[in-house]
Amino acid sequence: MRLGRSVGRRYRLTNGPIRSRTSEVWLARDEQLGRDVVLKRMLSGHDSVRGFSRLRAEARALARFNHPHIVTLFDAVQDGQGRRATSWLVMEHVSGGSLNGRQAVTPEVAASVGAQVADALVCLHAEGIVHGDIKPGNVVVTGDGTVKLADFGAAYRVGGNETITPNSAISYTPDYAAPEVILGRLERGSDVFSLGAMLHALVTGSPPERGPSGRVLLTADLGVLDDVLRAMLAKEPGLRPDATEVLRRLTEIAGGAVLPPSVNGTADFPTDPPAGSIIVDAVRNHPYLTGATAALVAALTGIASFLLPPSERDGSAQAGSPASLIGDPRTVDPCALTEPVALGRFGATELDRNYGNFDRCDVLVRPEDDSVVDVRVDFNHDPGAEQPGQARTVGRVGIVEQPAERDSCLRTLLPAGESDTNITITAKRDDPGKAPLCAIADVATGSAVTLLNNGPLPRRTLPERSLAHRDACALLPAGALEVIPGIDANDPDVGFGSWQCAWASTTSKLWLDVRFDQGPPPNPANGSATVVNGYRTILRPETDGDDRSCLAQLVYRTYHDEDGRAAETVNLLVSGSRSADQLCQLARRLTASAAARLPHPA
């Protein structure tokens, strides 16, 4: 992704990105409505349809909160198609800064702020949502001084039986957390306590002190807020007023006081827990917490980073960048990160170097009397996908563990010094079985992390004629791409090693994906064989409801490996709103253009 790129044929990227281990946030311009928005990127990976469907469901859950004091989710957008598809949340841009670092205000002004946050809590609590981390850095202010609650990264659903996504760990900030939150329990009264602690900080400059028993010690002069804050900061949740009562009392105290607008507010970047926050295992201790939507967990995370001055944003992403652990992507050997012997405890193993693109390596594990498990290592040119797991670091490598699925288990490695690269390790089976997929993935991950930290990774040498030395984007010049209206030839999505390239039309629902592949020579079953510029090519049209595509597989060269005859292929996938036959016509024309830029077949 780059500045000026259009997402969803509507949102033009104008600033950013702000990157964390698990996400990427951009400032963008909504060119239909002429307003600034914030886009948060969530990669769908190899399961784009299911990933985007889940994101849509989560977005619908958050969309119910159309509230003047909650930062608004506008849209959920999928950009691209197939393996290169990405999913985005489109959110309100709040430009006035957070409350963090502001000068102390009068009790009446603090009450005005608190009443607006309490108004948001009334709405959230009515839907069974607990925010979980109310503090100055998570309350932002618009240009006219309106207060909005942001960053739902610690939110949970309580008191119901609806589970939209699995629970993650509770994230909280000790200075503002209720006593029960520190013990791993969230409830509606926890937000009331945190709001009280925040109002104390707005008036006195710091959150309240606590005694040895955990009770709050109110020694500062709080003026007209004293009584209500004592009630809100009660140690026992049952003794605190609910959000509706807090709203009533703070509104009375505020009178006509308002928070003056400020452009000097600062904000945390809360995608990863900030200094002073703590993670506890809520699921282990309190299984009755049924989980907030991932949209609440992620949708508003990172918005406040755009409130920082541009100089701070631009500098922080580059300062102290460590040296690369991967080196030249076109010569690194993905199989160097595998240790088949270590996986031998789970069954017989087989290393498969020649399957899929050149950014991949597979180890097949064959447990006794069980289905085969494919342990796959992929190098990906993209910031880390939005992950529901918690990142940990071993040496110079971050590790994100995703919850297990029925037939797969995924780990993502985030090497230091690689701002645009991650490595995924997937243990997957196609048939039902009992093999411990996550245990297998963890052993493979441990081997890969050790090898990365020991570095440098070995290089590989491939035949001079191999497609590994080619650039997928360079196979289709601007003139060739004109057969698909609305494609910008200068703005492709480039895969790892430049072995994959994708374009999306900005004027029609058409997508083009070009990638290299290796494996058994393609079979013309379910397709038709032809010859394009001397190269054998298989055309495979496909229609699945409204989803239509045509895949052209050009056999570039054949060779023999340990499994027998193999082939390197150029794969061009054209998909979109036209008929499958029309898409195959486009695929054939594009394949001819690509073949013309390849050496004549031997």
Q: Coil, helix or strand for 308?
A: coil
Structure-token pair, residue 520: 């058994």
Residues 21, 414: contact at Cβ < 8 Å?
Answer: yes
Contact 198, 190 (CB under 8 A): no
With CA atoms as reference, report the closest residue to 135 among 266, 225, 18: 266
Alpha-carbon distance of 590 to 572, in angstroms, equals 8
Helix (H), strand (E) counts: the chain: 12, 28
Element (H, E) at 361: strand 360-366
Q: Let me know if 201 is exposed, middle or buried by CB neighbors in 10 A (0-12, 13-18, 19+).
A: buried
Q: Quote the CA–CA distance of 438 and 337 in Å, as a whole number.
A: 18
> DSSP 3-state assignment of 106?
coil
To 5 degrees, how large is the angle CA 356–CA 362–CA 367?
135
Q: Which of 133, 191, 382, 513 is catalytic?
A: 133
Yes or no: say if 553 and 569 are a contact pair by the CB < 8 Å rule. Answer: yes
Question: Residue 321 CB: number of other CB atoms within 10 A?
Answer: 11
Ramachandran area for residue 483 (φ above 0: left; ψ -120 to 50: alpha; else beta): alpha
In three-state secondary structure terms, 568 is strand
Please tell me the distance from the alpha carbon of residue 356 to that of residue 482, in angstroms, as a whole number.
29
Active site residue 242: no
Helix (H, G, I), strand (E, B) or coil at 563: coil
CA atoms of 518 and 460, how far apart (whole Å): 16
CA distances from 282 to 99, 168, 192, 512 (A): 28, 7, 20, 44
Whether residue 121 contacts residue 70, with contact meaning beta carbons closer than 8 Å, is answered with: no
CA–CA separation, 431 vs 49, rounded Å?
21
The number of residues making up the chain comes to 602
Place of tokens 């430009």: 95
Cα 152 from Cα 376, distance rounded (Å): 33
Widest Cα–Cα separation across the chain: 88
CA distance between the termini of the chain = 37
Give the β-pairing of 209-210 and 348-352.
unpaired
Residues annotated as part of the active site: 133
